[in-house]
Structure 1
Amino acid sequence: MSAAPISARPPFVLLHGGRHGGWCWKHVATALRQEGHVVYTPTLTGLGERAHLLSPSIGLDTHVQDLVATFEFEDIEDAVLVAHSYGGMVASGAMERIADRVRSIVYLDAHLPRTGESHGDMVGPARAAGHVAMAQDGGEGWYIPPSDASWYGVTDPDDAAWINSRTTAQPLKTYQDPVGSTDRAWSHPGMFVECVPSTLEPHALDRVRKRHTNDPDFEYRVLHATHDAMVTAPDAVTKLLLEAAGNR
């Protein structure tokens, strides 16, 4: 791919999904930096290397504030914000406060909620109930234990071992809290990448496909890769992110 002028290289903020951390973007972040971009990979409170902060009080608003604070304290402007899976809940809520700092937002097999929806609403009642059961069985009633990498579609033994050695528990509250206003996320230029086969519910995919047909500033792409595509298909993910940044 041809290199873009330095002035056209916006920073990237790569936001992980549930039970993951900034670590999951290692390969993609390295590739983007090699293309001349500044890359931030924040880890949400209570997850990843911040697992020692895990507590029942951590909710979706905590994670929204984590992302907002990253933009504010790092003085991030004109960024490409990339959200994976549950990270879409966080990014959508944060956009009410950081949209002016975001060039475009990319949802990598991620949730794009409407105002007032929770992660449970996005995944449906059966899976939401399953998360509650997991918390009751192995999480003291308030956190969801890590899932094996196979749940994310990962079959390569090395990739699976790497993921399983790093995933951490997720506060159940973050999956149950309703998100605040997401109006700015829905009106902002962006891209949705469906990983096939996706772990997202059909209704969630249908709404973003409908948006794509009605919104010329919103692209819809399909990537034949696992849900954890940033680990299993980093080159393909990097290519899509560079396109989203305008580096075609």
Structure 2
Amino acid sequence: MSKCKVLVIGSNADRIETQGGGWGKTGHYLNETVVPAMAVIEAGYEVVLATPDGTKMTLDPASDVPAHFGGDEAAYKRGRQFWDSDPVMTNVRTLKSVIDEGLDNYSGVFIPGGQAPVTDLMQDAELRTILQHFHEKSKPTAMLCHGPISATAAMPHAREFRASLIAGDPQKAQEWAKGWQYTGYKMTVFTASEEKYIEDNILKAKLYFNMPDALNLAGGEVIINPTDFAPHVIEDRELITGQNPASDHPIAAKLVAALARANG
């Protein structure tokens, strides 16, 4: 019998703006999504997936390899099967329907990475409602890799904040960030040097801003592991953030432990 519900929130983006007016293909990382989700289910929780428009997330092809599962082919196949056919991943809700149902039904929330959240989630008004609820109720709120940029959705002026970042106006971005509920929180996120590897080798283009600078401008206290692609997780109050794909198992463990504490 399931203990309680945990909300997993995904993006519907399949492309991201790049400097010079271009677009790069994007999505969510396989391991970053399925490893924590499967760990939460294994711990006895019911997982509900929701996206802004209620359709399934796009899989970032760069993540669709056993290397992101420690080279374990069997673990990769289990993860891919979960992504492809598990009811958790195929019965997708809209963010609005989850809000309308009542957020008191959920004990925790998790947002995986891949660059997709940098487009829609970080400025989504319905995500703002969700994050405000989990913040006010001190419920575990976990975000991995690029996922932590979604925390900016909780700003009163998230769209303006993102637009200022795209425009290269950090002073304006700081002004729009006032009133952010995570100001002063310790957190981590995919680093600029880690992003450079993706820009150079996968996107073949540069993004308009990097994630640590954005969260620092917003008022967060960003702490990074200087070793690229090494596991790193930060927990501060209800917020649990992981730096990169290698942080999938560590953030899953932190989230499961936080859920256990929250549920007695």
TM-score (norm 2): 0.45
TM-score (norm 1): 0.47
Q: Which fold has the larger relative contact order, with Cα–Cα distance below 8 Å and residues 6 or more apart in sequence?
A: 1
